[in-house]
Amino acid sequence: MSAPEFNASCPLPIQQYPHVLMAHGGGGKLMHQLLENVFGQAFSNPILDARHDSAQFTVPVGKLAMTTDSYVVRPIFFPGGDIGSMAIHGTVNDLAMSGARPLYLSCGFIIEEGLPMETLWRVVCSMRDAAQRCGVQIVTGDTKVVDKGKGDGLYINTTGIGVIEHSLNIVPTSVQPGDAVIVSGDLGRHGMAIMAVREGLQFESTIESDSAPVREPVRALIKAGIEVRCLRDLTRGGLASALNEIAAAAGVKIAIEHQAVPVREDVHAACEMLGLDPLHVANEGRFVAFVAAQDAERAVNILKRHAVSTNAALIGRVVEQAAPLVTVRSAIGASRILDMPSGEQLPRIC
Amino acid sequence: MKFLDEYRDGDLAQKFAREIHRITTKPWTIMEVCGGQTHAIVKFGIDELLPKQITLIHGPGCPVCVTPLEVIDKALEIAAKPGVIFTSFGDMLRVPGSTTDLLSVKAKGGDVRMIYSPLDAVKLAEQNPTKEVVFFGVGFETTAPATAMAVFQAAQKELKNFSMLVSHVLVPPAIEALMSSPNCRVQAFLAAGHVCTVMGYEEYPPLAAKYHVPIVVTGFEPLDILHGILMTVQQLESRRAEVENQYARSVRREGNQPAQELIKKVFQVVPRKWRGVGEIPQSGMGLAEGYAAFDAERKFGVADRRVDEPADCIAGLILQGLKKPHECPAFGGKCTPEHPLGATMVSSEGACAAYYRYRRHTVADTALTK
């Protein structure tokens, strides 16, 4: 018999059942096996390994940040990522938007009966790897199994706690007239990647999701002493929603230049074809930063040094304290409102 | 992006605008027929570059907006039936019928699916032989070849579980109806480039001659539209009323003949009600007798539904160019894209939605009411 081959990918722990059954959420032996062999094995760390009803840990002195998000993306695996890595990146990114260093995550799984065990294992491995890259530990969790047809394969919720180790007040109300508006990279990749696979659109090239952690470039901005006023993750609703939310919270008018907003050519083409606006499309590894005017250029240069934000660009300014409004100057030089999308983005007929 | 950026060049746009300013000596009222053009005009702020004497009126060229309430109600009724997979282009899903919309029917358990090509609906019918697959075939001449192809293929495949709710409309009869109205203020038309890509523009010279209006076949990018307006104003200022083709990179005089042949084979010209406008003779397309088996109205027994349009929506006046969206008392208050009273607020090509989305901060300005 030859020696077992070395396998760099995640071998699925031996399971009696190839699919998740209702009993895996029933509190008995099967559930115990699932927790031990899948989650326990992948996420192992001293806090989780204590196997208690609640995780216990000491926290550093100072301010904490906390956030929660649920992940229901379909399909579970998509070009550039999967629901597992997204569930880590998304929550760690929300913490980063306070300039917080992520410490601990909880994760809740809602699994539809019949999900292949191999699929669950791939997702869990992806979460483990993403958590390692982000320097965050998964310290507690929950698993529920729902009847076939009552879920969409797999839903994940993650809650994150992070520590704020700076003295800036990074919130929308810190935004002031004159502040520079910077995006951390090209927009719309995640939304178009998902739409392309979900709707079976065949584009010439595969658009990959931008799902990635953005903690490092944010840390670099703060470390360099950039006067960061506000940060916002550009997820659903895209840049348009983020800017409108901040304009409303801060009571300011924001003006951006359409030409300055980076959008990759393939994403632009897909959006044009479907009648969508890249400024409305979702991202999973992009943020908008409001920084003091005098720091704008330096901030962009710092962001450009990190792979995840190498396409960062200054796109506009906070104009004045005024009734909340976001305007965008078009390619031909005229101004218009940049509104939040209403409801789902629907492709146009013609 | 190639084939796009060169038609959005800011310097060239300014050059066109300066030339339009230079030659304009009188007030002129020009209608852009197509909703795609309205969308581009408002999105790029093209009208802000024009001299005050030029008024753009947004025409009835948004297929979502002109689909009458009773057809939407028929769609809602069919989509709610068990065993039906109801398929539609995306922006029809949010259009309100008398009581609800397709997205709400979906939320209540109806199998409503957004598709990108009518042929996908044919595929769905093949894959789901125990279901009835219905496609909502709306649009102008632009989308007609694709819907015709779906019916044609379904017939070839002898599919018994595929049908289509057809509400296709035609542009030239609408222009004729507008021009023959005593209230008409329109002095020239930008004809819809993509409609003409399919149909050509041989139907237009008689209209231009009869009503003495310049008609310029125009594209959809900012430079196309500015160029189209320039050509129109040149004609108006020199009292010409001809048919010209600005969009020559896409449109030939005779159009796309194989597409036209397919349309003629599958569809027949019928009278059609337009939302907010009323019935226009010979202005629509329905399935030809040979394809009647694919008519969803007959299959599901909804052909006789009649619904009146709501009174507090002035979409009709807007589609006829008699009012601007912000002149409606409901605009931005009772009527928003989240709670639309009429279809012009629903579709991104609708004049009301375009104004709401891009303009509501300046609607008090004279720039819009010039």
Model ipTM value:
0.80
At A90-109, the pLDDT tens digits run 999 999 999 999 999 999 99
Which positions ≥6 away from A143 have C-beta within 8 Å? Answer: A24, A25, A31, A34, A35, A39, A108, A109, A111
pLDDT at B204: 97
Alpha carbon of B360: minimum distance to chain A alpha carbons (Å): 8
How far out from the chain centre does Cα A83 lie? 10
Split at pLDDT 50, 70, 90, the class of A200 is confident
Chains A and B form CB pairs within 8 A to the count of: 106
Question: Mean pLDDT over residues A159-172, rounded?
Answer: 97
At B290-330, the pLDDT tens digits run 999 999 999 999 999 888 877 778 887 887 778 889 999 99
Alpha carbon of B182: minimum distance to chain A alpha carbons (Å): 31
Of residues B49, B138, B348, nearest to A275 (C-beta): B348
Indicate yes or no: CB of B359 within 8 angstroms of CB of A336: yes
Split at pLDDT 50, 70, 90, the class of A6 is very low
Domains of chain B by start residue, with CATH: 5-63+171-245 (3.40.50.11750)
Contact A241, A279 (CB under 8 A): no
Among B13, B318, B192, residue whose Cα is nearest residue A333: B13
Check CB contact of B119 with chain A, cutoff 8 Å: no
- pLDDT at position A7 over 50: no
Question: Mean pLDDT over residues A178-183, rounded?
Answer: 98
Q: Which amino acid is at B137?
A: G
Which residues of B fall within a CB distance of 8 Å from A344? Answer: 103
Contact B244, B238 (CB under 8 A): no
Question: Mean pLDDT over residues A18-44, rounded?
Answer: 90
The fraction of chain A above a pLDDT of 90, given in percent, is: 77
* CATH of the domain spanning A22-164: 3.30.1330.10
- pLDDT at position A195 over 80: yes
pLDDT at A70: 96
d(CA A179, CA B229) in angstroms, rounded, equals 39
At A202-245, the pLDDT tens digits run 777 789 999 999 999 999 999 999 999 999 999 989 999 999 99
Split at pLDDT 50, 70, 90, the class of B368 is very low
Is the domain spanning A172-337 CATH 3.40.1580.10? The answer is: no
Lowest mean pLDDT among A88-97, B26-35, B56-65: B56-65
At B119-176, the pLDDT tens digits run 999 999 999 999 999 999 999 999 999 999 999 999 999 999 999 999 999 999 999 9
Closest residue on chain A to B41 (Cα): A334
pLDDT at B275: 81
pLDDT at B338: 80
Mutation to test the A interface, candidates B94, B358, B360, B368, most A Cβ within 10 Å? B358
- pLDDT at position A136 over 70: yes
Mutation to test the A interface, candidates B6, B20, B39, B48, most A Cβ within 10 Å? B48
DSSP state of A3: P
Indicate yes or no: CB of B361 within 8 angstroms of CB of A337: yes
Which residues of A fall within a CB distance of 8 Å from B48? Answer: 334-335
> Domain ranges in chain A?
22-164, 172-337
DSSP track, A145-196? EE-TTSSSSEEEEEEEEEEE-S----SGGG--TT-EEEESS---HHHHHHHH
Indicate yes or no: CB of A330 within 8 angstroms of CB of B1: no
Indicate yes or no: CB of A349 within 8 angstroms of CB of B143: yes
Indicate yes or no: CB of B358 within 8 angstroms of CB of A336: yes
pLDDT at A350: 54
Split at pLDDT 50, 70, 90, the class of A5 is very low
The fraction of chain B above a pLDDT of 70, given in percent, is: 97
- pLDDT at position A10 over 70: no
Alpha carbon of A333: minimum distance to chain B alpha carbons (Å): 6
Residue, of A270 and B237, whose pLDDT is higher: B237
The fraction of chain A above a pLDDT of 70, given in percent, is: 93
pLDDT at A3: 40
Of residues B4, B10, B45, nearest to A272 (C-beta): B4
In DSSP terms, B279 is beta-bridged to B273
Indicate yes or no: CB of B44 within 8 angstroms of CB of A331: yes
Check CB contact of B51 with chain A, cutoff 8 Å: no
| Interface list for B 254-293 with A (CB within 8 A) | none
Closest residue on chain B to A335 (Cα): B45
Split at pLDDT 50, 70, 90, the class of A348 is low
